[in-house]
Amino acid sequence: MSVTAGKLAASVLVLSGIAAGAGVWYTQEYLYYDALPPITELAAVDASGAPMTLAVRDFEGIDGTSSPIRWRGCMTVDPAEAGRLAPFAGATPLNPPNWFDCFDPGRLTDDLAAGRATARLVQPEIRPDVDRVIAVYPDGRAFGWQQINDKTPERGVMD
């Protein structure tokens, strides 16, 4: 069987597509995320706006420098202490990479909607237009993420 120019070109295109797809998958799953070291507290703001420290245990977290919304955390907190944080309406847990398996955004979304967990604002404007939010369960399990807020007014084409 001979290799014709058409077969060679088709093979190059297919292999290039596979390589590009693998590269995009790798960057989204691994390259832009780093595991965080364990921590014992989060800087927070209570419901009145006063600074506070939220004690955490069993922290597992990830973050990335390429985006302000890549931070995710799984932890245990004192539910009473977390109750000092302001409730957060419109909480939308964001998808982590597949290898960060302690964080399940689908389950968190369902549990927040059903009232099995409560969303709390840990820190507003942790970055410009980004809030840090946690979902807290009655047993103290908590899952955190950073979410873009809607505090910036809509801008039209003709500012």
Give how far the C-alpha of residue 159 lies from the chain's centroid of Cα atoms, to the nearest Å: 32
Say yes or no: 59 and 72 in one domain. yes
Say yes or no: 69 and 6 in one domain. no
- pLDDT of residue 11 exceeding 50, the answer is yes
Q: Distance between CA atoms of 101 and 20, rounded to whole angstroms? A: 26
Torsion of CA 138, 104, 76, 48, to 10 degrees: -70
On average, the pLDDT of the chain sits at 90
Say yes or no: 13 and 46 in one domain. no
Determine contact, residues 141/76, Cβ cutoff 8 Å.
Answer: yes
Q: Mean of the pLDDT values across residues 97-126? A: 96
Say yes or no: 77 and 134 in one domain. yes
Say yes or no: 60 and 80 in one domain. yes
Give how far the C-alpha of residue 96 lies from the chain's centroid of Cα atoms, to the nearest Å: 6
**pLDDT band at 159; cut points 50, 70, 90:** very low
Asked if the structure places residue 155 within a domain, the reply is no
Give the ranges where the chain is alpha helix by DSSP (H): 5-26, 79-82, 105-114
Residue 6 is predicted with a pLDDT of 85
Say yes or no: 82 and 110 in one domain. yes
pTM greater than 0.85: no
**Burial (CB count <10 Å: 0-12, 13-18, 19+), residue 69:** middle
Q: What does the pLDDT look like over 43-81, one tens digit per residue?
A: 999 999 999 999 999 999 999 888 899 999 999 999 999
Say yes or no: 23 and 101 in one domain. no
Q: Domain range spanning residue 8?
A: 1-31
115: left (phi over 0), alpha (psi -120 to 50) or beta: left
Placement of tokens 């077969």 in the chain = 7
Asked if the structure places residue 157 within a domain, the reply is no
